Amino acid sequence: MLAYTIKRILQSIVVLLVVGLVAFSMFQYVGDPVDNMLGQERTQADIERVRAQLGLDQPFPVQYWKFISNAAQGDFGISYRQKRPVMDILRSSAPATLELAFVSGLFALIIGITLGVITAIRQNGFGSGIIMTLSLIGVSLPTFLIGILLAHLFAVELGILPSKGRGETVIIGGWVWSVFGTQIQFPSWRTGFLTESGLRALILPSITLGLYQMTLIMRLVRSEMLEVLRQDYIRFARARGLRERAVNFRHALKNTMVPVITIAGLQLGSIIAFAIITETVFAWPGIGNQFILAIRAVDIPMMAAYLMLVSVMFVIINLIVDLLYFAIDPRLRVDRTAGGH
C-alpha cells in the first residue's frame, strides 16, 4: 500500500511538472510580455530593465524553476487584461464556481441514483423506457443548448427563476483573529447560499451543469443494479420476507456504490471544467467565465493559472479516487502492483 501510494504521488508530481512546462512555454513562445507591459514610447534601457525585473534574462531552466516555485506559492503574475494579480482574480471568482459545482454534483448524485434505481427495478416499465430515451437525447444535446432552453423556458416564458448572475450574495469569513499575538486572517468567501435570490439563481445553472453527469450516474446505477438484483443473496433476502424497499435499497443499492463513487469522484473535475460553458450561458461570475475572457483577450498569465489550477484539481481527484479504490477493493492490490500499469 505504502509503495503504491508513493508511486502514485510521484507520478502525479511528474504530471504537474509537465503541465507546468506547457503553461510556462506559453509565456516563452507566445508574444513578448515586455511588449505588453511597456507602451509605444520605450527605450532600449526600459526594455532591458523590465526584462531583468521579470527575470527574462535568465536561462530557461532557471526561469522554469522560478515559474514552478512561484506557482506553488500561488503567484501567477499579473493579468494582462485586468492589470491585477491573477491569484486575486481566481480567489474572488472561485467561490461562485465551487458553489455551482457543489450543487450540480449533489443534484447529479441524488437524482441520478434515484432514477437509476427506479429504471432498474421497473426494467420493462413504460416510465423507464421514457427516461432511458430522454437520457440518450440528453447526452446528444450540447450543454449550451440545454442552458439556453432552460433559461428561456423558466426565466423568459414562465418568469419564475433568474437566468443571469448569482443573485444577492453575502460575504462570510475574512475575520481577523489574534491568537497569542499573531494575526490570523480567515479567507473571505462570497456565498449565494444564504439569500433566497442567491439560492434561486443556483437552480438553473446547476441543472444545466449536472444533467450530463446525472445521466451518466443514472445509467451506471441502472446497469450495476440489474447485475446485483440477479444475485442469490437478493433472492435470499426476498425469501426471508424482507420488504421490497429494504431489499432494493439496503441490500442491492449498497453494493452498487463502489463504482458509482469512483465515477462521481472523477466527474467532479469535469464538472469544474464544463462550468466554463454553463457560466458563459448564465453570466455566472466564476473562474470559467474569467478563463473564456482570458482566451478572447490572449491573457496568458490568466490562461496559465487556470491550466495549472484545473490540472492540480484533476490530479488530486484522480489520486484520491485511485487510493480509495485501492483501499476499498482488496482484489485490485495484486493486479496493480504486479501489472505496474
Partner 1 sequence: MADTGLDKSLVPAHRYPGRLARMWDSDFVFNFRKSPIAIVAAVVTLVLILSAIFAPWIAPHEPFNPATWDIMSGNSRPMVPNEFTGKVFLMGTDEQGRDIFSTILYGMRISLFIGFSAVIFAMILGITLGLLAGYVGGWTETIIMRMADIQLTLPSILVAMLIFGVAKTLIPFEYQDRVTMWVLILAIGLSDWVQFARVVRGTTLVEKNKEYVQAARLIGRGPGAIMLYHILPNVLNPVLVIATISLALAIIAEATLSFLGVGMSPTQPSLGTLISQGQQYLLSGDWWILVFPAATLLALALSVNLLGDWLRDALNPRLR
Number of Cβ within 10 Å of residue 12's Cβ equals 18
Nearest to 202 by CA among 216, 191, 217, 215: 191
- DSSP bridge pairs for 249: none
- The grid cell for 240 is 426471508
Residue pair 51/36 in contact (Cβ under 8 Å)? The answer is: no
Nearest to 85 by CA among 310, 283, 299: 299
320 binds partner 1 (CB under 8 A): no
Stretch that binds partner 1, among 111-119, 217-225, 307-315, 328-336 (CB under 8 A): 307-315
Considering only residues 113 to 152 of the shown chain, the ones binding partner 1 according to CB under 8 A are: 136-137, 139-145, 148, 152
Q: Residue 189 or residue 291: which is nearer to partner 1 going by CB?
A: 291
Q: Using DSSP bridges, classify how beta strands 182-185 and 188-191 pair: parallel, antiparallel or unpaired.
A: unpaired
d(CA 295, CA 276): 12
Considering only residues 237 to 276 of the shown chain, the ones binding partner 1 according to CB under 8 A are: 269-270, 273-274, 276
30 binds partner 1 (CB under 8 A): yes
Tell me how far, at minimum, the Cβ of 140 lies from partner 1, in Å.
Answer: 4
Tell me how far, at minimum, the Cβ of 152 lies from partner 1, in Å.
Answer: 6
Residue pair 33/56 in contact (Cβ under 8 Å)? The answer is: yes
Considering only residues 154 to 183 of the shown chain, the ones binding partner 1 according to CB under 8 A are: 156
User: What residues contact 212, with CB distance under 8 A and at least 6 apart?
Assistant: 138, 139, 143, 274
Q: Which of 89, 113, 277, 309 binds partner 1 (CB under 8 A)?
A: 277
Spell out where the chain has E strands: 170-173, 176-179, 182-185, 188-191
34 binds partner 1 (CB under 8 A): no
300 binds partner 1 (CB under 8 A): yes
User: What residues contact 37, with CB distance under 8 A and at least 6 apart?
Assistant: 50
26 binds partner 1 (CB under 8 A): yes
106 binds partner 1 (CB under 8 A): no
d(CA 137, CA 270): 20
Stretch that binds partner 1, among 178-186, 232-240, 304-312, 327-335 (CB under 8 A): 304-312
83 binds partner 1 (CB under 8 A): no
318 binds partner 1 (CB under 8 A): yes
Q: Residue 19 or residue 117: which is nearer to partner 1 going by CB?
A: 19
Stretch that binds partner 1, among 1-9, 13-21, 118-126, 233-241 (CB under 8 A): 13-21
Tell me how far, at minimum, the Cβ of 147 lies from partner 1, in Å.
Answer: 10
Tell me how far, at minimum, the Cβ of 194 lies from partner 1, in Å.
Answer: 30
Write out the DSSP string of 229-288. HTSHHHHHHHHTT--HHIIIIIIIGGGGHHHHHHHHHHHHHHHHHHHHHHHHHTT--SHH
Binding region for partner 1 (CB under 8 A): 15, 18-19, 26, 29-31, 136-137, 139-145, 148, 152, 156, 269-270, 273-274, 276-277, 280, 291-292, 294-296, 298, 300, 303, 307, 310-311, 314-315, 318
